[in-house]
Structure 1
Amino acid sequence: MLLVTFLGALIGLVLGLTGAGGGILAVPALVVGLGFSMTAATPVALLAVGAAAMVGAMDGLAKKIVRYRAALLMAVLGSLVSHLGVRLAHIIPETILMTLFGMTMFLVAYRMMLKARQARGAALAGTSDEKNCMLNPSTGKLLWTRRCAITLAGIGAATGLFAGMLGVGGGFIIVPAFKRYTDIEMHSIVATSLMVIALISISTVIGILLAGAHISRTGQIFVAAAILGMILGRLTAAHVPAQLLQITFSILTALVAVILLTKTYFPGALA
């Protein structure tokens, strides 16, 4: 019980602090830490991440920093594509899914570490290049061009595919993509990311549950703990140095990926 509570709270905490990281750690926590299979872990992970993200998104809505139109567009596309991901997850062998998940974690860890190392240079550069989605200087709202709509739709579709196939929220896609293709402020990016994660994750879970899956009591405790972790993360996010958080998350993600792949190919090594 303590381990379930700790792991769930950790996922919510990381998600609250980064707006991106908790989702990709949820499935490994359930598979490696609690002994779930990949397919059994998917709905629990999505529900935990989705419910926790909704708490963070509500906080962002109250502060009026969520780009809700962009979030809704990405969520609609993501929810539609997530069903394809769920079908693929039942077709692809679990070993391949675990390998894909591990490789994705290594990529996320690398990108997070790279971002931390480039933080100082980026702050000094201060470029104002044209992005696919730009804010209107006079209103502070997004300029809805065809290019912007296609970009956001693509981000949403990619997020939905990973959500359905691997049981991840997709913040590791949304946050870097928003930073690259929009000029939205970081605090608004995180809040918007949480809204998209919540909508896609919860809609995907509903589809999985309607197909016959169920959430065990252990899973329910994990979800409740993730919500509490999210609340703590949102309360402390402003007091944690971003660079330290990125480096710590990068190392943790890479370590979990090694454990996950070791368990997949050498199950006796962790016994």
Structure 2
Amino acid sequence: MILDFLYGAGVGLALGMTGGGGVLAVPALMIGLGYTLPQAKPVALIAVGSAAFIGCLDGLRRGLVRYKAAGVMAVAGTLCAPIGLWLAKNLSITTLMIIFCTVLLFISARMFKQAVSPCKPETRQGSNLLSAKCLVNPSTGRFRWTNRCFASLSSIGGISGLFSGMLGLGGGFIIVPGVRQFSNLGMHGTVATALAVIAFISAGTVSVFLITGGVIEPTAWRFIGAAVAGMLIGRTLAPKVSGSLLQIGFSLLVCAVGVMLLVKTLMPYLR
């Protein structure tokens, strides 16, 4: 029972501080608590979605959530989530686990590279302005909506929903870097907006899961409650922690988790 709380709190803490920490929910359930992938997916989505909702409310209170952008990404993600659920039912567990581990290792490498080789602020800002498809109006703090902006955000949301349905991932690991890549929205606004999208997509994916006969084990609610508590702590601590150190530590943790899951998945075939 203690492990349920510890792992759940850790996932919520990482999610609150990075916006992408929900990627650790499925590994925490599988490695730490002995769940299978099909058992872990809905629990992870409920935990991450609930924690993200709390973080989203905090972001709304601070005026950080770009709610129109969040709505576009959330709708696209919810529409694509059933495709992910269909793929999950038609692909083998081994295939899904290899895809999952590949995603984890890719995230880890990308985050570590960004942390150890950061661009200078003026260089990053200039690059963003040149490549951004969604520019923020400095006088209002809102996006200037164009067809390219709508298409970019819809694509980010759709890919996020696909992975949510297929692997039980909240999608923050796609939304945060995606929005940062295609817009000049600040990091705090990006994380707050990502949490809103994660909450919406997770709710939609879990609803489909339950409607189609899925069941959540009663003991899983300890993990879910602890994740929400961890989110509250993470949102409080985030401004006080060095972003680069946090990113390096998180990337190394994700790498270790990805390697452990990959070894566990391939071990039966290596004997």
Identify the TM-score tier after normalising by the shorter chain.
Answer: over 0.9
Cα deviation code 1:219-249 (max 9, x no counterpart): 1111001000000000110111000000000
- Secondary structure at 1:217 match in 2: coil
Report deviation, 1:212: 0.9
Question: What amino acid is the match of 1:139?
Answer: T
Q: 2:121 aligns with which of 107, 120, 123?
A: 123
Equivalenced residue count is: 267
Aligned pair in 2 of structure 1 residues 256, 210: CA closer, same or farther (>3 Å)? same
Tell me how far 1:267 sits from its aligned partner.
5.7
Name the amino acid aligned to 1:243: S
Identify which range, 217-226 or 53-62, moves more after superposition. 217-226
Moved segments of 4+, more than 4 Å: none
- Deviation string 1:137-173 (CA, Å, 9 cap, x unpaired) is 3322111100100001000100000000000001010
1:235 match: 236
- Aligned mates of 1:187, 1:263 — CA distance in 2: 36
Contact 1:43 1:208 in 2 (8 A): yes
2:9 aligned partner = 9
2:120 alignment partner, SS class: helix
Q: Normalised by the size of structure 2, how large is the TM-score? A: 0.96
CA-to-partner distance for each residue in 1:57-107, whole Å, 9 max, x for gaps? 000001111000000111011001001101110110000100100000000
CA RMSD across the alignment: 1.4
Q: For 2:142 and 2:269, how far apart are their aligned partners in 1?
A: 54
Letter in 2 for 1:186: M
The alignment partner of 1:266 has SS state of helix
Distance across 2 between alignment mates of 1:67 and 1:159: 17
The Cα of 1:122 is off from its aligned counterpart by: 3.0
One-letter amino acid of the structure 1 residue matched with residue 245 of structure 2:
L
Equivalent in the alignment of 1:169: 170
Unaligned runs of 5+ in 1: none
Q: Distance in 2 between matches of 1:160 and 1:130?
A: 25
Residues 1-271 of structure 1 mapped to structure 2, 5 A cutoff: 1-20=1-20, 22-119=21-118, 121-125=119-123, 126-127=125-126, 128-266=129-267
Q: Matched residues in 1 for 2:31 and 2:198: separation?
A: 23
Is the contact made by 1:113 and 1:250 (CA closer than 8 Å) also made in structure 2?
yes
CA distance in 2, matches of 1:258, 1:231: 29
Query: Structure 1 residues 249, 172: closer, same or farther in 2, change over 3 A?
Result: same
Deviation at 1:40, TM superposition (A): 1.1
Q: After superposition, give the CA deviation of every residue in 1:149-201 in whole Å (9 maximum; x if it has no partner).
A: 00010001000000000000010100111111001111000000000001001
- Offset, 1:129: 1.9
Give me the identity figure in percent.
46
- The answer to whether the 8 Å contact 1:32/1:263 transfers is no
